[in-house]
Amino acid sequence: MEKLVSLCRRRGFLFQSSEIYGGLNGFWDYGPLGVELKRNVKEAWWRDMVSAHDDLATLPGAPSPYEMTGLDCTIIMHPQVWKVSGHFDLFADKMQTCRQCKKLVRADHVADMTRDAEWAQSFAACCFVPKPDGTMSFNSAEAISWAKTRKLGRKLAPGLALVRDPEVTMSWLAEDIENESVTPATLTLPLVLSYMATAQKNETGLQTPCPHCGGDLTEPRDFNLMFESHAGALQSDENKVFLRPETAQGIFVNFKNVIDSSRVKVPVGIAQIGKSFRNEITPRNFTFRSREFEQMEIEFFCHPSQSADWYKFWRDRRMKWWQEIGLAGERLILRDHHADELSHYSTGTADIEYAFPFLPEGEYGELEGIAHRGDFDLRSHMEGKLDPNSCPLEVQKGEDGKPLHKGSGRDLTYRDDITNERFTPHVIEPSAGADRGTLALLCEAYHEDTAPDDKGKEQTRVVMKFHPRIAPIKAAVFPLVKKDGMPEVAQDLYRALKKKFPAFYDEKGAVGRRYRRQDEAGTPYCITVDGQTLQDQTVTMRDRDTLEQVRLKLDDVVAEVERRVTGE
């Protein structure tokens, strides 16, 4: 992963936002190559899902033909949208604060972060000693010595109770071993670490250590993830607005507008790509968990009797799409949620997940969620915030017995003009992250192999094997040497290619070095104009992955690159 991160910076895929001021945690800028890559992901999604969708045919697995259309809504919406959607009350993570370093940590991230923390790894390496039977035993004398050492405990975990007061802290564990409430054989690292974070066990019980400094964490508390701002001159509560944490709600509140203003009919999908904002407490793992990111969401409205079939269709269609644009390997999986994870109004939810290299072996991170949402969202925006735990669904009441958050009161039902039936459509929601998708494609593309240099000697090369459709630059053109009319021919070809797609012209340095630069950028085709070109109007085209070089007519290059890029 470190190699990929450094390549991304060096070659201009991704930079940390405001880097010259030390960076802003959780915000990322896409550089010259990154912007093309991410645009290609979004454009492929929009084209495949919306603009090129064939609404006359029944796609494999679909119950019937369906229509697709798009929207582009504002980031700031009426605050009632977020009250009714549940984000205002529920869009919260449980947070813990460190009493020593004051940092906030997401409760469900603490265990993983502590496992990966430098101080915990150093502690484990010093204090857990392998036994001949293959198990590990904890050595308390080593732990005290680790805590007192300037370059170890005192530097790495200054907040840890063991470091602040080694003997007293260690006494709690010794006492529990003595009274046999724990046995040395059952001392795992997480259990030992909670003893080491406990200054006064009788008063507080065992403490959870802070992943940053080892200090002790408070009980988990709710923390709302929505960024706030004010619309208008007054910074008052009445003017408070939120930056959207998802693009989906803009689609729900415009459902009626779309149906009334266009000729689309249910079943119909409404798509939107746009920025979303979440004040994530522990943004990490590169762009995987950012505070500002882009989503590609579809709300698919259908008749309730067909919603289970549409859910299956969308789940499989979305999985196939990620495979088609380059995540074809085993690192991509489709994980169906268990029945007990589902809300009672939903017949299914599945996540498309990728084995990101920063995750431990066997773990996957979500790229996209596909959820059957029933009529929960449209009904909430009509009637008022529904209580997701009620069955059948009812409007959630406040202490005064009135609706907790009032709906719009607008009729968001749909009338089928053939059957005359009026119903509230059910919704299937495929919700994908453009940044997580781009990151997965970067991870999947990264390869190291060998290729011959100008002298025919095998050299290691870094090559980004992007699917040609996604690659930031589709073709590079090189004159073999900067003379004999070769640059002029190459420049004309470059201009012709550029009319169709991003291309690159390079005449600097040895040709092998130029190939290497394009391999790192993931350019699938490099075309070289050489001495023979001037005689017979042919050029060589090198394939990034196979390194195969073919000779083709200068006049055929644009069409050939286009054929290969579009696969048509």
Binding site for ligand ATP (CB under 6 A): 246, 278, 280, 289-290, 293, 295, 366-369, 431-433, 435-436
Residue 98 structure tokens: 């460190």
Q: Three-state secondary structure along 415-442?
A: ECCCCCCEECCEEEEEEEEHHHHHHHHH
Task: DSSP for 359-413, please give it.
Answer: S-TT--EEEEEEEEEETHHHHHHHHB-B-TT-SS--BPB-TTSSBSSB-------
Q: Which is nearer to ligand ATP, 100 or 290 (CB)?
A: 290
Q: Which is nearer to ligand ATP, 246 or 530 (CB)?
A: 246
CB count within 10 Å of CB 338 equals 8
* 36-41-42-48 Cα dihedral, nearest 10 degrees: 130
CA distance 330 to 320: 13
Q: Which is nearer to ligand ATP, 87 or 405 (CB)?
A: 87
Q: Which is nearer to ligand ATP, 216 or 435 (CB)?
A: 435
CB of 521 to ligand ATP, least distance (A): 24
CB of 283 to ligand ATP, least distance (A): 7
CA distance 432 to 298: 9
CB of 559 to ligand ATP, least distance (A): 36
CA distance 469 to 34: 14
CB of 225 to ligand ATP, least distance (A): 9
3-state DSSP call for residue 233?
coil
Q: Which is nearer to ligand ATP, 194 or 295 (CB)?
A: 295
Q: Which is nearer to ligand ATP, 436 or 467 (CB)?
A: 436
535-540 CB contacts, 8 Å cutoff, 24+ apart: 539/493
CA distance 341 to 100: 36
CB of 26 to ligand ATP, least distance (A): 8
Q: Which is nearer to ligand ATP, 253 or 370 (CB)?
A: 370
CB of 429 to ligand ATP, least distance (A): 9
Is the CB of residue 380 less than 8 Å from the CB of residue 408? no
Which of 544, 525, 550, 325 shows the shortest CA–CA distance to 447?
544
Residue 130 structure tokens: 């392998």
Is the CB of residue 415 less than 8 Å from the CB of residue 422? yes
3-state DSSP call for residue 340?
helix
CB of 179 to ligand ATP, least distance (A): 41
CB of 324 to ligand ATP, least distance (A): 18
Give the CB-nearest residue to ligand ATP.
433
Q: Which is nearer to ligand ATP, 295 or 346 (CB)?
A: 295
